[in-house]
Amino acid sequence: MIQIKNLRRKLECNNKAIRITASAFGVLAGITGLIAGAFEILQGNTTPSGLWISMIGPNYSTWENGAYRVFTIIPSFFITGILALIISSIALVWSVRFIHKKNGASVIFLLAIAQCLVGGGWVLDLGIFASILASRINSPLDWWGATYPRRHIA
């Protein structure tokens, strides 16, 4: 009976695969936002034509239909790019260092929403998936035993 409690305690505190996967999705969202911010800064201090902007300006696009459209509430490409870089950097650091903490899932979800609002790319799906995974980091994996019963090899 003591061995089962110790095993359950280990499973509750040591879901490394889930933590690594959640971190990977958060890092991917952060890198996407860093790239978006860099391309927006390259467009200079000009005013976008609307809320949906082309992340890659006409000077840097190699194909006229290959523009990556992002959403922003900031009326300047330069400021949008700087805010996207800042929020994406925070999301990147949070994904690597703090995603397993108590409020890690909530913070990574809010950072993904913030990235979407300031032109950091369309990373909301990555943020949602990372936050769902992060919410399961410190949870026991009891459902594996119920779904896939252990085979006893003689």
| Length of the chain counted residue by residue | 154
Backbone angles phi, psi at 70, to 5 degrees: -130, 165
5, containing H or E segment: helix 2-13
3-state secondary structure 95-130: HHHCCCCCCHHHHHHHHHHHHHHECCCCCHHHHHHH
pLDDT, tens digit, 9 for 90 and up, residues 129-139? 999 999 988 87
pLDDT, tens digit, 9 for 90 and up, residues 36-73? 999 999 999 999 888 888 888 777 666 776 677 889 99
Segments making up each domain of the chain, as ranges? 21-139
Residue 71 to residue 10: CA distance in whole angstroms: 43
